[in-house]
Structure 1
Amino acid sequence: MSDHLILGERGEAVAQAYVRQYCQILHTNWKYERKELDIIACREGRLYFIEVKTRRGARYGWPEMAVDFRKQENIQTAAAAYLEYFALHPATIRFDIIAITFYQAEYQLMHFRDVF
C-alpha cells in the first residue's frame, strides 16, 4: 500500500472519530460513478456531507485548498445522487471540510463548516 493511501486512511480515521463526537455517521466512502463522499453524517434533522483532506505538512499547500470548484461540484453531484438513492429529504444540508495536517506523530485538525 502506498504511503499516500496510508496517510489518507489515517486522516479519515481521525476525522471519523472527531465527527462521532457530535453526529451519527451514516456512511463513509460512499461512491457514485467516479465520485466519492468521504463522510455522510446526521444530527437533529441536518445532513452533513464532509470532505476529508489530509496532508503531511504544508509543503504543497493546506489540505482544504485542494477542495477546488471542480471538487465541490463533484461532491454536490454525489450528494444529490445520495439523497435520491436513499429518498431522503432532510430539513437542511451542510457541506463541510475537515482538513488534517500531520506533523510526524502529531496532527492539526481544522473543521470548516458550511463551506459551499
Structure 2
Amino acid sequence: MQGVSRQQAGREAESYALLYLQQQGLRPVAQNWSCKRGELDLVMLDGDTVVFVEVRYRRHSGWGGAMESVDFRKQEKLIAAAQLFLQQESQWASYPCRFDVIAIEGEPGKAAPLNWLKHAFDS
C-alpha cells in the first residue's frame, strides 16, 4: 500500500472487515458512526445481538500489533460511544450487545491475516 494515506488504508481495512463479517452472516447496522465521545467503526447485527466492532489495522507490527492497540483507554471510549449510540438509536437499546475487535496486519484484501476476537472486552 505504498503511497496510500493512513486514512485510506484504514478505510480499506474497514471495508475488508465489513465484507468478512457479512460473509460470516452478520448484517451491517452502521459504519463510522460518530459522536462527541468518539467513533464506532462498524455496528453489526449477529442474530439478535448488536455487535460494536473496532477495526484495527497495522501495516507492520514493529510498534505493537493491531490487537494490542485496543488498550483500556480505547475500550472506555468505545463503551461510551456505544452507550450514546444505544441512546440515540433506541430501536437497538433492548438488544444484547457485545464488543469485538478485528485486527488486520499487512495489506487489507491481499490475503492479509484477519484476526476476529469476539467478546474482546465487556462494558
TM superposition score normalised by structure 1: 0.91
| Deviation by residue 1:62-103 (Cα, 9 ceiling, x = unmatched) | 101111111100100000000010112343111000000115
Partner AA of 1:86 in structure 2: E
Q: Structure 1 stretches (4+) deviating beyond 6 angstroms?
A: none
Q: 1:102 matched to which residue of 2?
A: 106
Question: What percentage of aligned pairs have identical amino acids?
Answer: 30
Picking from 25, 28, 42, the partner of 2:28 is 25
Q: How big is the alpha-carbon RMSD for the aligned residues of Structure 1 and Structure 2?
A: 1.8
Displacement of 1:43 after TM fit?
A: 2.5
Partner AA of 1:113 in structure 2: K
Show the 5 A alignment for 1:70-89: 70-87=73-90, 88-89=92-93
Contact 2:40–2:78 at 8 Å: present in 1 too? Answer: yes
Q: 1:55 matched to which residue of 2?
A: 58
Structure 1, unpaired ranges of 5+: none
Displacement of 1:2 after TM fit?
A: 5.9
* Structure with higher strand content: 1
TM superposition score normalised by structure 2: 0.86
C-alpha separation in 1, matches of 2:107 and 2:11:
16
Structure 2, unpaired ranges of 5+: none
Picking from 106, 111, 114, the partner of 2:116 is 111
What number of residue pairs does the alignment pair up? 116
Q: 1:43 matched to which residue of 2?
A: 46
